[in-house]
Amino acid sequence: MADFEYLGTITRAANGQFVRRTEAIPPRPETPETSIVVPLRYWGREEIMPWLVVGDSMAPTILDHDLLFAERGLLPSPHDIVVVPFEGRRDMPGVHTLVARYNLGVRGPFLTKDNPRYSDFEARASDAGILAVVLEILPRQSRSSHENHFLVHRTRAMHRELGRKIPGDVGLLLRPFTEKLTSVLDIPEGEFLGGRLPWGCFRAFAKVAQPHVGIGVRDLLTINPAGQQRTGDLVIRTNNEGESLFGLLQRDKKVGSEPGRFWLGSTDPGSDFRFEGEDFYQLATVLRVDAASHIALAAGRTLADRRAKSGGRVELL
């Protein structure tokens, strides 16, 4: 999957002005009705409602097709995840509610999204407008074939614009790349579609414990397979020999005209672990580390991050 997104083609109109030409994208098909297995702990509680998530705006906390259980009538507190009414969009029929992070500022409550791609989203909120407060996130057991609907259509439009043949597997990671991922990660069957791994974030387990970054083989990892990386990211690197390593991406300071070297370090500030490995290249980024039995409601990559971002609310951890 590329690290860019096709948004249209710039052309010059007859009056000399530049305009962007875009190809119309059909609406995302509605999610078909599916049977939901309600955990025993929620039986008989009419105030608890299930919500099947559509979209990635709350990633990496919540992924497309995750199942949420939320309580109606519960007053939200700062850092909660809430469900609110949504006026709907023509390109997403059937979606009439929105999931967001509840915040409290000097001007009152407001909503934000966890996904950095939606960092410009901010909406005023009122407690009366909150439909429900999310109590639990259950990881998806399968992926929707429409998860990458808009990105797939934009990618096809780009190929048409450039006069290129459209690959038959647009929206799926290349097989060799998937093989590299599966050599490092134990990926649940439900993360695949027809034996292929779709674009976008997925959840998996490390095949080998990585104690220098606090990851065990039963920790549930949320993985971004895109190639973009920044210092401070928890990344997975590999080489052509099939060796791999997790580490915190660091970079030395620039010395004269020489750029600083990249290296992998530990998440423990007191550790002297350092790995350079020039023949190693980026494979994926670890966005979250959760317990296998529980996805925390708080935002943040690790438990320490989530403690800092939850305002000390243990129920979000």
Please give the mean pLDDT across all residues of the chain: 89
Scan for tokens 């860019």, then name that residue: 4
Q: Report the SS3 class of residue 287.
A: strand
Backbone angles phi, psi at 128, to 5 degrees: -70, -25
Q: CA 40, CA 47: separation in Å to the nearest integer?
A: 14
For residue range 236-274, list pLDDT tens digits in order. 998 888 889 999 999 988 888 888 888 999 999 889 999
What tens digit of pLDDT does each residue of 8-63 get? 677 777 787 877 767 777 888 888 777 888 999 999 999 999 999 999 999 999 99
Residue 244 neighbours by CB distance under 10 Å:
21
50-91 pLDDT, tens per residue? 999 999 999 999 999 999 999 999 999 999 999 998 876 776
User: Do residues 273 and 266 make contact, with C-beta atoms less than 8 angstroms apart?
Assistant: yes
DSSP 149: H
CATH of the structural domain 43-138, one choice from 2.10.109.10, 3.10.20.740, 1.10.220.150, 2.30.30.90: 2.10.109.10
Say if domain 173-294 classifies as CATH 2.10.109.10: yes
> Using a CB cutoff of 8 Å and minimum separation of 24, what contacts does 230-233 make?
231/262, 233/285
Count Cβ atoms within 10 A of the Cβ of residue 301 and give its class: 0-12 exposed, 13-18 middle, 19 or more buried.
buried
Delimiting residues of CATH 2.10.109.10 domain(s) in the chain: 43-138, 173-294
User: At 127, is the secondary structure helix, strand, or coil?
Assistant: helix
Pairing assessment for the beta strands 9-12 and 18-21 based on DSSP bridges: antiparallel
pLDDT band at 5 (very low <50, low <70, confident <90, very high): low
Q: What is the mean pLDDT of the segment spanning 129-145?
A: 94
- Largest distance between two CA atoms of the chain: 68
Spatial neighbors of 91 by CB under 8 A, at least 6 apart, are: 25, 26, 27, 28, 150
Are 143 and 131 contacting, i.e. CB atoms less than 8 angstroms apart?
no
| Alpha-carbon distance values, 253 to 184, 256, 258 (Å) | 31, 10, 9
